[in-house]
Structure 1
Amino acid sequence: MTTLHPHLGAGLWPIPASATIVHLRGELDLTTRETVRERVLRALQHSTSLLVLDLSEVSFCDAARLGVLIGVQDGAGR
């Protein structure tokens, strides 16, 4: 079964029902670095399918935190 996620802006993307969705909110900055990294890695360890990061409620993300998210993605592909 495929569902459509309503918070992806102008386009709707099909997300499998088996996907694990991590909702992040607020600011992704120096003070939230480890919390975000740990939460995403924990979700990745427990995910049996696709892992989706919902950033629709993130109001700010500095370049270093974007690097953390990319690093997690790189690690997931191994």
Structure 2
Amino acid sequence: MARAAINVLGATGEMYDLVSQGTIDVDSYRRSSGVYCITGCLGMVPFPPLDEGWGYTVSQVDGRADVEIDYADKVLTATVTRDG
């Protein structure tokens, strides 16, 4: 498993782009509105220093969005909520 940057399309949850330093078999899907699942990864690690945020970004249009990351049963789940 290697480090990777994964871009997921909001409307479908499909992977738009995957940039990796190695070969990995990763897939994604949209479970429901605002809930996206990534399979084939080992989760995410906090940026250093330890516990200083997670490695995700949202587009400028969605700058007011709140993101919760969970990793369980080999599935990384990103839940995105937005005020309004």
Check whether TM > 0.5.
Answer: no
Which is helix-richer, 1 or 2?
1
TM-score by length of 2: 0.26
Larger RCO of the pair (alpha carbons < 8 Å, separation 6+):
1
TM-score by length of 1: 0.27
Which is strand-richer, 1 or 2?
2
